[in-house]
Amino acid sequence: MRTHGRLMIFSLVACVGYTLAYYFEWSLFQYYFAENSIGFWEQGGASGPPILWYGWLATAVLAGAVAAAIVPTRWVARLLPDLLWLVPVVLIFAALMYERRWFM
């Protein structure tokens, strides 16, 4: 049950972390596919455009892992059961709103 709680805390925080990561461009690293290289700081134009998605995902996983390690699992029983599906629904809606720029 404790493990279940930690897994749920991980998912919830990682979900929020991913949304913040792409919104604020908090990418743990950038992958420059033209050069097949990884950079931790933004490189010049010669390297081509970076892929940030891997870095956003890494940021989210890191945030989730830290939260799962430090947040007390008793919070799960109080808060998580409803938040666990409501929060992702809100975050998906936020992603749709964020990407509507492509359809205007």
Asked whether position 89 contacts another protein by CB under 8 A, the answer is: yes
Measure the N-to-C terminal CA separation of the chain; round to a whole number of Å: 47
Per-residue binding string, another protein, 18-57, x by CB under 8 A, is xx--x--------x-xx--------------x-x-xx-xx
Q: Are 38 and 32 in contact (CB under 8 A)?
A: yes
Strand partners, 39: 30
Buried (b) or exposed (e) across 61-86, using 16+ Cβ within 10 A? bebbbebbeebebeebeeebeeeeee
* 64 makes contact with another protein (CB under 8 A): yes
Given the rule CB under 8 A, which residues bind another protein?
Answer: 1, 3-4, 7-8, 10-12, 14-15, 18-19, 22, 31, 33-34, 49, 51, 53-54, 56-57, 60-61, 64, 77, 80-82, 84-86, 88-89, 91-92, 95-96, 98-103
